[in-house]
Structure 1
Amino acid sequence: MSSFKLTLLILLTSLSSIYAWVHPGILHSAGDLKRMLSYVNAGRAGTPSNQYSDYLLLARDYLSSDTYGMSTPVTILTQRAAFERDGTAAYQNALMWYLTGDKSHANKSIAIMDSWSSTIKSVDPAYRDRQLASSLGPFMMTNAAEIIRYTDAGWTTTGIQNFEFMLTNVFYPRLNDHSGSQYEANVGSGNTKAMMAFGVFTQNQTMYNEAIDYYSNERCSGLPLDISPTGQASESGRDQQHVQLGLGNLAESCQIAAVQGTHDLYGLLSNRLLVGYEYTAKYNLGYTVPYDASFQRCSAHNIGGPFPTISTSGRGRFRPIYELAYAHYVSTKKLSMPYTSQIIQQVVTEVGSGVNSRADNSGWGTLKYRIL
């Protein structure tokens, strides 16, 4: 066993007996929520900021509306789009509840969560995207649940119990399936962040620790297999959309651990995630980067690989993933991310993940993570 794995094992073993959960505590602590609210209140009082501008965009998004028309829940999930939209709507309405104090937003978020958790029984094991269906949308909805549960929004005990049952018995078993080509690259990193979120909400130490181990060591989606020492992603030859999805997933996992105060995943392998962000930011800004064709994701042949050159597909289309990493590495740790900084300056206000991928990453990072 490597010294790193031995150290991690010792840490996880000791953690189980001394750890106290932080709530709210997935992507946002109570302090994070208060910081967002301070930007919103200042904006309402006449002090402009990019954070407040981002809030106004969030407030206008249809998924933030308290009149959002949710999908009809199903007992067996055979496609993921409907749950992802509803999960994102639940999350954005939970944010709006906290930032406005308008109970109608809390009620909308609760209605979505209660409707799904009291109906769904399983994710179709034959569905090709069964793990994405069990990670991306559920991750968003669990962030909603964490905010609603710990902000006196009026969620019933029965509703909370049903939601915990759904996470543990419907979605978690799919995340823990390593058969076939499921636990790979962006799919695997999505599984990891969802498993961490589920662990926090249900206060399941085993589940949470399992996700930490996956982030560090999983053979097809752990950090060393996702990002090379040069910063190249395992899917850099595939397209830039999936690269950025994977980076965002990794950063969101790091953020959960940071909020909980358990592990410095951001700093793992000498800030490897920072190196990955800078490589991808540099390339997507139009610069040349080195590319090693031997560094490929597992089962690359299943998606048209191996890829001999870096992909231009999606190049220059920035996903809403950069504010989170920048806030940690630059604003908090005082490290340098010059290419990520250029993207943030170009984008100005980071919004959601887009019409066709609303649950890929949580978005709205200017409001949520930028520190004055």
Structure 2
Amino acid sequence: SLVKRLDQKYTVARWPPVAETYPETERQLRWDTECYYTRLSLAISQLASARPIRDKFRAVMLEIGALRWRRSGTPSEIRVSSAPPTGCVWGSTAENANGSAVKPLIRLGTLPSTTPAMFFNIIISVLSLFFLASLCGLVQPSPATGIGGTAKRDIGEYHKQIFLHPGALHTAQDIQRVKTRVKSQQEPWARAFKHLEASKLAQITWKPTPQTILVRGANPDYPENYGHAYRDAHSAYQLALRWLVSGNASYADAAATILDAWSSTLTEIQGNEDKFLAAGLYGYQFANAAELVRLYPGWSQANQSRFGIMLNDIFAANNRLFLDHHNNKPDFYYANWDFCNIASLLAIGIFNDNQTMFNFAVDYFKYGPPGGVVANGALPFFSIANFTEEESGKILMQGQEAGRDQGHALLCFALLGVIGQQGYNQGVDLYSVYGNEILNGAEYAAKYNTNHSVPYTPYRSWEGVLPVVSAKSRGNVRPGFEAISSHYAEVKGLNASWSKEFRDYVNANLTGNIEGGGGDYGPNSGGFDDFGHGTLMYRRRSD
């Protein structure tokens, strides 16, 4: 009965459509496997409306073993193995929660070319049996992790097993810290929360405007409408913060209403190439809002799962498509395009407990695509030159967009803060890679944008040689540096003086010496690329 309902309600296809687009490599097939699993587990969890079901499915799959897909000519073979392929970092189902290797249980032998469909039926059968066992009480659900809880984690270079929730931009510890300081009227947190309360996007009267087709980058068939997405994503996030700090459930209800409106309406993202910006920016934002609202008991498991399916099938699909192909122009797109799509995959991977997706984003960020293909948003390509500052001896790193304009150069570091924070909260310290390269680059950009001179190395982009550091949009006021300055200076005790100076410069404009959020930096998309509200959520010290 369950399988029949599933067949009627969902069409589960290989994701992304690799038959038309991607080579059938083992790396891609491991991605397909995990996304099959995510789609299926979310769908059944939605039907079951039971919070612990999805985690139980994952536990069963870990006990079965690591599914390895291999291709050799026409025949296909599925094996259960005790170890992942050599050098393969896709997925982590080859280990139990304690880190020990899973013993091989079965060998299915050579299968016909319809392996994907057969594999799907195998998964259906296993998960359905476990689902029925759960309903019959044969398996007792584990308690859900609440606002003050923690989850068991086994994390090395890449995320290994169970995700911490909440664990994208903010953790339970972050939320408790903010609640305590706001309640005791400590500054600047009390003032920052009052600013949030005054935001027009943080009101329970906000009405969502979901779109069936989200469009960024107009074409003859689809007029642009992406403003609805960034306003609603910011509203859901701000309402979630008000609920978490105040305890007033009406704000959580309003946030959940926004998320439900989008997950029950959105079917695709369209437009010209700018649609990939929409997939990246609003993907990470919707996922982060949902990661906070998931703590609210009034947001049903069915609706959470439907939202996860939307993130998986619509946003993450476009994120992966862009990062893999860049419209067949790998060196054309500036770094911020990659950064927003990486941020989105990290956030969606966390919300959907998709280890392969999360690990793919980490690997891409650190090393770029396989084979040394150019990806301007991978740190080895983003870093153009390093300079040693004479006065302090610290490293200043020239980022890829420094010669383009400062609006985009600063956007890069706002997005790098998102990437760094999401990794760090899951135990993967992306902030520290390559000798704290995010800090080094942020210090360079912040120094120049607080009216100080910096050295520069000419850079050749698709537009030609960018001969000097660009003065266009210099001193651009946009949020994002609270996260960076707080992490490096307050959490790690490093010298982030220029980042702090730029943070204070931004906060002194428009928002009364605290970092504002969506709606404070103009009505256009640039003012909504970062959530902001960092004084409230990231600041540790009152100085």
**Shorter-chain TM-score above 0.5:** yes
Distance in 1, Cα, partners of 2:538 & 2:251: 22
1:146 to 285, 291, 294: 291
Distance in 2, Cα, partners of 1:183 & 1:65: 37
CA contact (8 A) 1:186 1:249 kept: yes
- Is 1:274 paired with 2:439? yes
> What is the match of residue 347 of structure 2?
197
> What is the match of residue 212 of structure 2?
75
- Is 1:165 paired with 2:303? no
- Is 1:57 paired with 2:195? yes
Say which SS state the counterpart of residue 376 (structure 2) adopts: coil
Distance in 2, Cα, partners of 1:252 & 1:234: 18
What are the equivalent positions in structure 2 for 1:172-251 lying under 5 Å apart?
Answer: 172-177=316-321, 178-180=325-327, 181=329, 184-218=334-368, 219-230=375-386, 231-251=397-417
Q: Give the structure with the higher percent strand.
A: 2
1:28 to 163, 170, 180: 170
Say which SS state the counterpart of residue 175 (structure 1) adopts: helix
- Is 1:94 paired with 2:227? no
CA drift of 1:113 comes to 0.6
- Is 1:123 paired with 2:269? yes
Say which SS state the counterpart of residue 228 (structure 1) adopts: strand
Letter in 1 for 2:539: R
- Is 1:103 paired with 2:249? yes
- CA spacing shift, 1:9–1:209, aligned 2, 3 Å: farther
Q: Please, what is the CA RMSD of the aligned residues?
A: 2.0
Higher relative contact order, structure no. (Cα contacts within 8 Å, ≥ 6 residues apart): 1
CA contact (8 A) 2:376 2:400 kept: no
Distance in 2, Cα, partners of 1:165 & 1:184: 29
Letter in 1 for 2:275: R
CA contact (8 A) 1:27 1:256 kept: yes
Distance in 2, Cα, partners of 1:335 & 1:201: 31
CA drift of 1:309 comes to 1.5
1:266-298 per-residue CA deviation (whole Å, 9 max, x = no partner) reads 11111111110100011001111111112x55x
CA drift of 1:183 comes to 6.1
- CA spacing shift, 1:209–1:128, aligned 2, 3 Å: same
Once the two structures are aligned, what percentage of the paired residues are identical? 33
CA contact (8 A) 1:84 1:138 kept: no
CA drift of 1:334 comes to 0.9
CA drift of 1:128 comes to 2.8
- CA spacing shift, 1:344–1:327, aligned 2, 3 Å: same
Letter in 2 for 1:344: R
Distance in 2, Cα, partners of 1:69 & 1:306: 47
- CA spacing shift, 1:31–1:16, aligned 2, 3 Å: farther
Say which SS state the counterpart of residue 310 (structure 1) adopts: coil
CA contact (8 A) 1:229 1:275 kept: no
CA contact (8 A) 1:196 1:208 kept: yes
- Is 1:132 paired with 2:132? no
Larger-Rg structure: 2
- CA spacing shift, 1:9–1:330, aligned 2, 3 Å: farther
What are the equivalent positions in structure 2 for 1:309-348 lying under 5 Å apart?
Answer: 309-346=468-505, 347=507, 348=513
CA drift of 1:229 comes to 4.2
Distance in 1, Cα, partners of 2:302 & 2:350: 19
> What is the match of residue 532 of structure 2?
363
Letter in 2 for 1:350: E
1:12-67 per-residue CA deviation (whole Å, 9 max, x = no partner) reads 66687342210001000100011111121112xxx4x1122111111111111111
Distance in 1, Cα, partners of 2:310 & 2:406: 33
CA contact (8 A) 1:183 1:221 kept: no
Distance in 1, Cα, partners of 2:415 & 2:350: 16
CA drift of 1:313 comes to 1.5
- CA spacing shift, 1:326–1:149, aligned 2, 3 Å: same
CA contact (8 A) 2:89 2:359 kept: no
Say which SS state the counterpart of residue 176 (structure 1) adopts: helix
Distance in 1, Cα, partners of 2:378 & 2:291: 26
Q: Give the structure with the higher percent helix.
A: 1
Distance in 1, Cα, partners of 2:284 & 2:189: 24
Distance in 2, Cα, partners of 1:9 & 1:38: 45
CA contact (8 A) 1:64 1:89 kept: yes
Letter in 2 for 1:352: G
> What is the match of residue 429 of structure 2?
264
CA contact (8 A) 1:240 1:315 kept: yes
- CA spacing shift, 1:184–1:342, aligned 2, 3 Å: closer
CA drift of 1:224 comes to 2.0
Unaligned ranges ≥5, structure 1 = 1-7
Letter in 2 for 1:143: N
CA contact (8 A) 1:183 1:191 kept: no
- CA spacing shift, 1:172–1:345, aligned 2, 3 Å: closer
Say which SS state the counterpart of residue 326 (structure 2) adopts: coil
CA drift of 1:352 comes to 1.5
Unaligned ranges ≥5, structure 2 = 1-85, 98-160, 217-225, 369-374, 387-396, 508-512
TM-score, normalising length from structure 2? 0.62
